């Protein structure tokens, strides 16, 4: 199911609201985590959803509550969400996080408001 959503779903930033370790280990280096996220699609209202993903022990800090990750979702059923990826570290300098909704986005020249919620952005 998650692989199908990753292949055909719409990408959107999502703020991690909570993370729960399921207790399932994937080999010696990863755990299955349950995420409760708030998703900020480009052309629709934000929504909340649950999903799960295996995360390596070394990458786990990127998936903490309050962090922004990227998900893909089924536009016809927003309960179907899959983790796509954590923010790409190399692009961090060009990414601004909205203080109102938490969405991470690349700041366009002259852009003064959040692309997702419309709130003013501060540098």
For the chain, what are the domain ranges? Answer: 2-87
| CA nearest neighbour of 33 among 44, 22, 42, 18 | 22
Beta-carbon contacts of residue 84 (< 8 Å; ≥ 6 apart): 6, 11, 69, 70, 71, 72
Average pLDDT estimate for 25-31: 90
Under the banding of pLDDT at 50, 70 and 90, the label for residue 111 is: confident
- 2-87 sits in which CATH class? mainly beta
Between the CA of residue 53 and those of 47, 113, 114, what are the distances in Å?
19, 32, 28
Average pLDDT estimate for 17-43: 93
Average pLDDT estimate for 59-71: 88
**Residue 110 CB burial class (10 angstroms; 0-12, 13-18, ≥19):** exposed
**What 3-state class would DSSP assign to 110?**
coil
CA 49 to mean position of chain CA atoms: 11
Under the banding of pLDDT at 50, 70 and 90, the label for residue 120 is: confident
**Adjacent-strand bridge partners of 120:** 113
Segment 34-54, tens digit of pLDDT: 999 999 998 899 999 999 999
Place of tokens 């991470």: 104
Under the banding of pLDDT at 50, 70 and 90, the label for residue 123 is: low
């Amino acid at each position: 199911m998650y692989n199908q959503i990753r292949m055909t779903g719409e990408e959107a930033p999502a703020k991690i609201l909570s993370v729960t370790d399921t207790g399932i280990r994937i080999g010696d280096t990863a755990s299955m985590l349950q995420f409760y996220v708030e998703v900020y699609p480009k052309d629709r209202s934000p929504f909340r959803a649950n999903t799960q993903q295996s995360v390596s022990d070394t990458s786990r800090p990127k998936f903490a509550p309050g962090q922004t990750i990227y998900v893909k979702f089924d536009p016809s059923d927003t309960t179907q969400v899959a983790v796509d990826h954590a923010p790409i570290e190399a692009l961090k300098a060009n990414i601004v996080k909205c203080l109102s909704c938490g969405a991470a986005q690349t700041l366009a020249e002259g852009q003064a408001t959040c692309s997702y919620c419309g709130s003013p952005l501060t540098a």
